[in-house]
Amino acid sequence: MAKSSAAERALYFFGLGLARLVYRVSATGAEHLPAGGFLLLPNHITWVDAIVLMLASPRPIRFIIDEGVYRNRFLHPVLRAVGCIPITPRKAKDAMRDAAAKIRAGEIVCLFPEGELSRSGSLLRLRRGYEVIARHAEAPVVPVWLDRLWGSIFSFQGGRFFTKWPRAVPYRVMVAFGKPLAAEAADIATVREELLKIGEFCYSQRPVLRGHLAQACLRGLKRNPFRIAITDGLDHTSLSRGKLLGVALALSRHLRRKCPERRIGIVLPPGKGGVVANLAVVFAGKIPVNLNFTSARDSIESAKEQAGLSTIITARILAKRLEDFPWTPQVIHLDEILPKMKQAILGWWIFGVALPLRVLGRVLNLPRFGDRAEAILLFTSGSSGQPKGVTLTHRNILSNVSQFAVMLDAKKDDVMLASLPFFHSFGCTVTLWYPLIEGVRTASYPSPLEAGKIASLVERQAVTVMLATPTFLRAYLRKAEPPQLRSLRLLITGAEKLPDELAKAFEARFGKEVLQGYGLTETSPVVSVNLPEPKATKAGQTVQPCNRLGSTGKLLPGIAAEIRDADTDRKGSLHNTGMLWLRGPNIFEGYLDAPEKNAEVLRDGWFKTGDIGRFDEDGFLYIEGRLSRFSKIGGEMVPHETIEHKIVSVLPNGEHSERVIAIVGVADAAKGEALVLLTSVDLDLPRLRAALSEIGVPNLWIPKMVRRVDAIPVLASGKLDLAGCKALAAEK
């Protein structure tokens, strides 16, 4: 092993001693490091990543760096003294040979495989140069993850380097070394997968994830208590963050006294009442259960029974409309009880603003830690059967809020539309808990179906962030005018696959790009999301890709993924198509009272999503469809959603403003399954079959049975009602 020079030792002693005053680096996995030489491959977040790595490493590191930086007259003496290896595109082979020689001599050589600093905090495409070095050196590769550096003054968080205040001094950083990979096994897909796994491990260690949802909301509402928290789209009245806190605390005291049970049901649409009710239940130390009041009575009965509910919070005006709703023995009507609490609300409003956070938390007897305890209970939409209870912990919600906050990077003047129901996981985490914790203002509307009125609200409140589903976007195409949506800077869609034709039609009409995301109730819910493509600041400049048509974007920080065979569960490459498995602090703890189902989908911390997907080399996730939306015909897996998109593309009427077709698989004695095409419009089947054949759709994929229906069944969340579709397809 090469000996370091006196100059190098002096620089390490004084330079790293100074760095330790600024950074508190905790390192893990150092026991994995080989005794001899190896190639170190870290993610690249800030300008000081090399210094952080040197603080974490038990041995000196030789860094491969751009020659332009190496020749900088101020940095050159230092970089030369610590043995950095300069590299240029024209002389890359020389640098690689030099690096391989140092590794063979027993040294640690570090190459940042992304080749540039990340400007989004997510892992970029890995460049193949490291493979050449590892093979020439015949040495192992060690992936390493630098965590918590995104947001420091040397990162690009907020769209700029340097010009922001440090969050803390000393700044705490975690560095995790992975297990060595043999040179021949360290292909790009494998190294990306290992980096994501180490990143997930680091993220899961963050102290904030051990917190309690009530404490996080209290902290969020006490920041800027006089700023508007929510504006109601029906009467256009607003609540400040401080007053919202006062109302919720007053109601929470009542719930503590009158409701001894563990869980409390909530039947309210998005709006001030729904936010107050959820906050009050959490402040009361109980678990909110937002019930899907648009479901069939038997589904609601099932959810109510599974949750063990004896109290429901609602409003009298809504209760009158829900004539057949199976109410609990005790029903609390907000519009009747809150007016009687005026004095209590005023008192808690004043206390909430005046008392320090710690004192107020002690007065309220709020737990400091929630961690893996149940925080909320949601029920799946029941798109393919009876609803399943999904228990989400404090850790789940807090992690997904922090993950989404990193990706969204909200501005001070952002206004988020809250029209998705709170019983929908997307609406619950992203438009309820996220704004409360992160201080983002919301404009609410009780139904996502009223596109015309929502468009007017977007214009009136200058909404900048809107979340929707493809079904709801179709309604905007019919009922909204382009000027009404001009304030939007971010439009994200989820819950179901976004058809390319719909995205293009929306952008053509409104001039707004539709960005697709992906999530599940079981993942709290957001897993990945596309972001607006950054604009080049000068001619010829390349930008880091942030979205890709057809994909669901990049994984949120702290989430790891594997692609496994759908039948055998054998692990494959991330670049192959197969069953998507996920791991991260946002992954749920299990279904309510369903040990057999939990054993089927949860294994060693990994969650079997039920979705078929793949990743490209830039890390974008492509969801090909749910396994339940594939039919096995003649031994071949046939994707329903792909067929639907092909059919829509050849329909004579062009763009449709609502869902008009659905593919359903039914049992078939000859081939196992057969495809049935449900349609709400008249179709000429022979002409359709010919058109599909002409664009290259395999004959096996073309449905031979068509059933005309009045409308394609859709759930309140905007997702296709699979159970309803199967019932229609099965009718004789």
Q: Does residue 448 form part of some domain?
A: yes
* DSSP letter for each residue of 410-472: --TT-EEEE-S-TTSHHHHIIIIIHHHHHT-EEEE-S-TT-HHHHHHHHHHHT--EEEE-HHH
Task: Please state which of the ranges 170-179, 395-404, 518-527 shows the lowest mean pLDDT.
Answer: 170-179
Domain end residue (candidates: 158, 183, 205): 205
When pLDDT is averaged across residues 76-101 and rounded to a whole number, the result is 75
Residue 23: CATH number of its domain: 3.40.1130.10
Q: Does residue 420 form part of some domain?
A: yes
Quick one: tokens of 509? 């009409």
Q: Residue 259: what are its φ and ψ, rounded to 5°?
A: -125, 95
Q: What is the pLDDT of residue 198?
A: 95
- Confidence band for 369, pLDDT divided at 50, 70 and 90: very high
% residues pLDDT > 90 (the chain) = 44
pLDDT at 643 over 60: yes
Q: How buried is residue 600: exposed, middle or buried, by Cβ count under 10 Å (0-12/13-18/19+)?
A: exposed
Q: Are residues 148 and 245 in the same domain?
A: no
Q: Are residues 194 and 305 in the same domain?
A: no
pLDDT at 204 over 90: yes
In angstroms, the CA 152 to CA 171 distance is: 8
Q: Are residues 472 and 576 in the same domain?
A: yes
Q: What is the pLDDT of residue 142?
A: 94
SS (H, E, C) 488-538: CCEEEECCCCCCHHHHHHHHHHHCCCCEEEEECHHHCCEEEECCCCCCCCC
Residue 346: CATH number of its domain: 3.40.50.12780
Q: Are residues 641 and 604 in the same domain?
A: no
What average pLDDT does the structure give for the chain?
86
Q: Are residues 280 and 164 in the same domain?
A: no
In angstroms, the CA 489 to CA 463 distance is: 9
Residue 713: CATH number of its domain: 3.30.300.30
* Helix 451-461, helix 470-479: angle, nearest 10: 80
Q: Are residues 46 and 157 in the same domain?
A: yes
Q: Are residues 610 and 643 in the same domain?
A: no
How many structural domains is the chain composed of? Answer: 3
Q: Does residue 60 form part of some domain?
A: yes
Domain end residue (candidates: 205, 230, 246): 205
- Confidence band for 501, pLDDT divided at 50, 70 and 90: confident
In angstroms, the CA 379 to CA 292 distance is: 8
When pLDDT is averaged across residues 266-290 and rounded to a whole number, the result is 95
In angstroms, the CA 46 to CA 85 distance is: 19
Q: What is the pLDDT of residues 12-34, one digit of tens each?
A: 555 555 666 667 888 899 998 99
* DSSP letter for each residue of 635-673: TEEEEHHHHHHHHHHH-TT-S-SS--EEEEEEEETTTEE
Q: Does residue 622 form part of some domain?
A: no
b/e 371-403 (16+ beta carbons within 10 angstroms → b): eeebbbbbbbbbbbeebbbbbbbbbbbbbbbbb
Q: Does residue 621 form part of some domain?
A: no
Mention every residue, 6+ apart, whose C-beta is less than 8 A from residue 16: 51, 54, 55
Q: Does residue 488 form part of some domain?
A: yes
pLDDT at 672 over 90: no
Quick one: tokens of 166? 């440090």
Q: Does residue 502 form part of some domain?
A: yes
Q: What is the pLDDT of residue 151?
A: 76
pLDDT at 731 over 60: yes
Q: Are residues 105 and 252 in the same domain?
A: no
Give the residues across from 39 on adjacent strands. 109, 141
Q: What is the pLDDT of residue 387?
A: 82
When pLDDT is averaged across residues 228-246 and rounded to a whole number, the result is 93
Length of the chain in terms of residues written: 732
Contact 558, 176 (CB under 8 A): no
Q: Would you put residue 605 in left (φ > 0), alpha (ψ -120 to 50) or beta?
A: left
Quick one: tokens of 729? 């397809």
Q: What is the pLDDT of residue 165?
A: 65
pTM of the model: 0.85
Rounded to an integer, what is the distance from CA 653 to the centroid of its chain? Answer: 35
Mention every residue, 6+ apart, whose C-beta is less than 8 A from residue 6: none
Q: Are residues 405 and 513 in the same domain?
A: yes
Residue in 219, 221, 240, 222 with CA at minimum distance from that of residue 230: 240
Q: Which helix (H) or strand (E) holds 563?
A: strand 560-564
Q: Are residues 293 and 145 in the same domain?
A: no
Is the peptide bond preceding residue 77 cis, with omega within 30 degrees of 0?
Answer: no
Q: What is the pLDDT of residue 712?
A: 86
Quick one: tokens of 399? 């992690």
pLDDT at 695 over 90: no
Q: Are residues 165 and 282 in the same domain?
A: no
- What is the sign of the dihedral through the CA atoms of 56, 58, 64 and 67? positive
Residue matched to tokens 């965590």: 147
Q: Does residue 624 form part of some domain?
A: no
Mention every residue, 6+ apart, whose C-beta is less than 8 A from residue 169: 22
Q: What is the pLDDT of residue 266?
A: 96
In angstroms, the CA 165 to CA 172 distance is: 15
Q: Are residues 103 and 219 in the same domain?
A: no
Bigger pLDDT: 680 vs 370: 370
Domain end residue (candidates: 562, 580, 614): 614
- CA angle 387/388/394 to nearest 5° reads 130
Which domain does 707 fall in, by range? 634-730
Is the peptide bond preceding residue 698 cis, with omega within 30 degrees of 0?
Answer: no
pLDDT at 691 over 90: no
